[in-house]
């Protein structure tokens, strides 16, 4: 993995605006701007440490396959590249059980606006040494730095994993189950993913009256709403949707209602951007503080 070559390609302030892309599964780079790609490939997997080191351009699908071979997985949504998944920061439908994307990143080497390689975080599963730049990078859409290489936390694969469905109310179903991995609801039907020891999975499903199915429902892809979990009941009548119960993500057929940040928060965003990228050369035009 050649981070130095990647840094050289990103260049410094004199090299002007630059954008980054992987497989464009999450929208790709900024159109009309010089585009770079991060290094890829898995450097190592340490199963007994539950960590993996890889380049940002590594395909999530490839990483999943390699980790599966050692009985592990990583809580990134299954598409595109590792760097893209981190830069966008949107979780997959297993978030209820696996947690958000932001908790996966232990260490990142990124290339900053000045063209130098910067290390954030550390290689161990537990680390509070210094300010938490890793959390800041996840979801920053390449506006503060371009992620080149990462160390991620992995998790063991469950012995058994099964999707189920039920017509019962999703909240009471959720309340009956111990830490389900996913509970989805389209306003009528509830889908549940249970993982764990096969006997526990079977007993939980029987207790909640669940019927096994082969797969979760297709997700409406027009937009992604983010709601407080307790507010999902109010989704009725808003259009076709699949909501992640207990999480608050709604995969919706209708555009998300507009959101905005308060002025002091916008000002803080702008100060951070100016500190990290004074000339605004990284992913120009990408703004995070209004949609």
Partner 1 sequence: MTSLVAALRAAIAPDRVRIGAAELSLYRRDASNFDGNASVVCFPITTVDVQAVVRVCVEHHVPFVARGSGTGLAGGATPLDGAVVISLTKMNRILSVDPESRQAWVEPGVLNLDLTKAVQHHGLHFAPDPSSQQSCTIGGNVANNSGGPHCLADGVTSAHILAMEVVLPEGDIITIGGQDPEPLGLDLRGAFVGSEGMFGIATKICVRLTETAPTVRTMLLDFESVEDGASTVSAIIADGMVPAALEMMDALCTRAVEEYVHAGLPIDAAAILLVEVAGLANGLEHEVERIIAIGKAHGARTVRVAQDEAERALLWKGRKTAFGAIARIKPNYYLHDTVVPRRKLPEVLNKVYEIAERHGLLVMNVFHAGDGNLHPLLVFDKREPGVMDRVHAAGDEIVRVSVAAGGVLSGEHGIGLEKRDYMPLMFGPEDLAAQAALRAAFDPTGLANPTKVLPSPSACGDVQHVPEGAWI
122-181: contacts with partner 1 (CB under 8 A) = 122-136, 138-140, 144-145, 155-157, 159, 171, 178-179
HEC sequence for 113-167: CCCCEEEEECCCCCCCCCCCHHHHHCCCCCCCCEEEEEEEECEECCCEEEEEEEC
Per-position x/- string for 106-125, each x denoting binding to partner 1 as judged by CB under 8 A, each - no binding: ------x---xxxxx-xxxx
Q: Which of 249, 281, 282, 283 binds partner 1 (CB under 8 A)?
A: 249
For residue 260, the 8-state DSSP code is B
Cβ closer to partner 1: 212 or 291?
291
Question: Minimum Å distance from CB 172 to partner 1?
Answer: 11
Stretch that binds partner 1, among 14-22, 27-35, 53-61, 190-198 (CB under 8 A): 190-198
183 binds partner 1 per the rule CB under 8 A: no
Cα torsion 202, 100, 31, 8: sign: negative
Q: Is 239 helix (H, G, I), strand (E, B) or coil?
A: coil
255 binds partner 1 per the rule CB under 8 A: no
Paired sense of beta strands 35-36 and 72-73, if any = unpaired
217 binds partner 1 per the rule CB under 8 A: no
Cβ closer to partner 1: 129 or 214?
129
Of 258-287, binders to partner 1 (CB under 8 A) are 259-262, 264-265, 267-269, 271-272, 274-276
Stretch that binds partner 1, among 9-17, 43-51, 77-85, 208-216 (CB under 8 A): 43-51
Helix (H) or strand (E) holding 108, with range, is strand 105-111
237 with 206: CB under 8 angstroms?
A: no
Give dist(CA 13, CA 73) in Å, integer. Answer: 38
């Amino acid at each position: 993995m050649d981070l130095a070559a990647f840094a050289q390609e990103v260049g410094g302030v004199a090299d002007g605006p630059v954008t980054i892309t992987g497989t464009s599964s999450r929208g790709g780079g900024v159109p009309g701007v010089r585009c770079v790609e991060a290094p890829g490939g898995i450097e190592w997997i340490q199963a007994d440490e539950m960590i993996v080191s890889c380049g940002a351009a590594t395909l999530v699908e490839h990483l999943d396959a390699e980790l599966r071979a050692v009985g592990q997985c990583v809580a990134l949504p299954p598409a595109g590249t590792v760097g893209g998944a981190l830069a966008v920061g949107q979780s997959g439908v297993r978030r209820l059980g696996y947690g958000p994307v932001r908790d996966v990143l232990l260490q990142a080497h990124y290339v900053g606006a000045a063209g130098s390689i910067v290390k954030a975080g550390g290689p161990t599963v537990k680390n509070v040494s210094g300010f938490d730049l890793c959390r800041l990078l996840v979801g920053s859409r390449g506006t503060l730095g371009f992620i080149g290489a990462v160390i991620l936390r992995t998790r063991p694969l469950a012995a058994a994993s099964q999707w189920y469905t039920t017509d019962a109310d999703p909240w009471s179903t959720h309340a009956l189950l111990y830490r389900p991995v996913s509970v989805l609801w389209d306003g009528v039907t509830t889908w549940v993913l249970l993982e764990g020891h096969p006997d526990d999975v079977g007993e939980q499903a029987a207790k909640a009256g669940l019927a096994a199915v082969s797969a979760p429902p297709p997700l409406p892809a027009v937009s992604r709403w983010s709601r407080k979990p307790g507010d999902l009941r109010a989704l009725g009548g808003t259009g076709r949707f699949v909501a992640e119960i207990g999480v608050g993500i709604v995969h919706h057929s209708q555009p998300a209602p507009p959101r905005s940040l308060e002025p002091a928060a916008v000002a803080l965003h702008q100060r951070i951007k100016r500190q990290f990228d004074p000339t605004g050369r990284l992913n120009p035009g990408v703004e995070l503080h209004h949609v």
